[in-house]
């Protein structure tokens, strides 16, 4: 199962990604979590100890590794492999915690005309490998968009979850992401409400997303604030947010199973 999670910055997508990854791992599933957000915080959401998280380096910044794998020569305008070997990278550059492997993808700095460079090539090839060639639950914490996903890999995403909070700006971002996802071939787009304070907030989201599938909501909670302050995973603290995340996971799995039956 391959799941990408996105949404407007600060909406709570990393919190959801961390809890879902831990929830699937608690079910005994093999889970690989990918932090593809420039503001990388997924390690904390997973509960990875700081000293272990410090061992991670963004693969997109490993210029020497990219140069070696693509056989690129020094200088501009050089030729290099567009299909480098990447199958060993997830094991070599991940850390493990509570049954979840964590890989820090990072982003490639691009100029106005884009970037076709060894680092960009390595990241794109690795993303294709993770989505097409691995048999495990892959959960990607994306930035406020789906830039890491190209047309060649997007169709392998089983579910795109767009996290939204009760507000028009967040909903506008969600609609933009949904249109882009449809354009590149992602067929299963779901929504999760975040920072929901009361029943009125929930009803607002249900009405605003009436044409989409709302998997559930994560309520505003002292548990989430405590987890953030302590730098631990909310999943380890338990309480209502974890119960909500487990219900979201179960509904996602059920929806995907139903869709497969229809196909």
| pLDDT single digits (tens) 207-251 | 999 888 999 999 999 999 999 888 899 999 999 999 999 999 999
| 190/5 Cα distance (integer angstroms) | 10
How many other CB atoms sit within 10 Å of the CB of residue 106?
20
Mean pLDDT of the chain: 88
pLDDT the model gives residue 158: 93
Global pTM?
Answer: 0.90
CATH, residue 64:
3.40.50.300
Which structural domain range is residue 219 located in? 2-262
**What DSSP character marks residue 73?**
P
pLDDT the model gives residue 116: 62
Strands (E), 158-225: 159-164, 189-196, 213-219
Please provide the distance, in angstroms rounded to a whole number, between the alpha carbons at the two ends of the chain.
16
pLDDT tens across 183-192, in order? 888 889 999 9
Phi, psi at residue 23, to the nearest 5°?
A: -65, -45
| 206/42 Cα distance (integer angstroms) | 28
More confident residue, 61 or 195: 195
Q: Is the pLDDT of residue 263 over 50?
A: no
Pairing of the two strands 94-97 and 213-219 = unpaired
Q: Which of 168, 163, 159, 174 is nearest to 255 (CA)?
A: 159
Q: What percent of the chain has pLDDT over 70?
A: 90
Q: Which of 205, 186, 245, 151 is nearest to 3 (CA)?
A: 186
**Sign of the C-alpha dihedral computed for residues 256, 260, 262 and 263 taken in this order:** positive
Q: Which of 212, 148, 138, 211 is nearest to 184 (CA)?
A: 148
What's the number of domains the chain is made of?
1
pLDDT the model gives residue 135: 87
Q: Is the pLDDT of residue 254 over 50?
A: yes
């Amino acid at each position: 199962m391959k799941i990408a999670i996105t949404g407007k910055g600060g909406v709570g997508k990393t919190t959801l990604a961390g809890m879902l990854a831990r929830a699937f791992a608690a079910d005994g599933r093999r889970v690989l979590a990918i932090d593809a957000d420039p503001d990388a915080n997924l390690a904390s959401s997973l509960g990875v100890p700081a000293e272990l998280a410090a061992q991670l380096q963004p693969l997109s910044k490993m210029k020497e590794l990219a140069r070696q794998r693509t056989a690129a020569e020094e200088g501009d305008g050089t030729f290099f492999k567009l299909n480098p070997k990447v199958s060993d990278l997830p094991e070599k550059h991940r850390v493990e915690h509570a049954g979840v492997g964590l890989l820090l993808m990072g982003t490639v700095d691009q100029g106005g005309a884009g970037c076709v460079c060894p680092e960009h090539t390595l990241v794109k090839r690795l993303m294709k490998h993770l989505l097409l060639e691995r048999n495990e639950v892959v959960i990607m914490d994306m930035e406020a968009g789906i830039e890491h996903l190209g047309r060649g890999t997007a169709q392998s995403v089983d579910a795109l979850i767009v996290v939204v909070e009760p507000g028009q700006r967040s909903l506008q971002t969600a609609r933009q992401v949904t249109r882009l996802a449809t354009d590149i071939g992602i067929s299963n787009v779901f929504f999760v409400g975040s920072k929901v304070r009361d029943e009125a907030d929930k009803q607002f989201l249900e009405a605003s997303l009436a044409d989409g599938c709302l998997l559930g909501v994560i309520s505003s909670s002292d548990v989430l604030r405590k987890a953030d302050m302590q730098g631990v995973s909310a999943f380890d603290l338990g309480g209502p947010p974890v119960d909500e995340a487990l219900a979201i996971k179960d509904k996602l799995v059920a929806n995907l199973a139903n869709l497969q039956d229809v196909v």
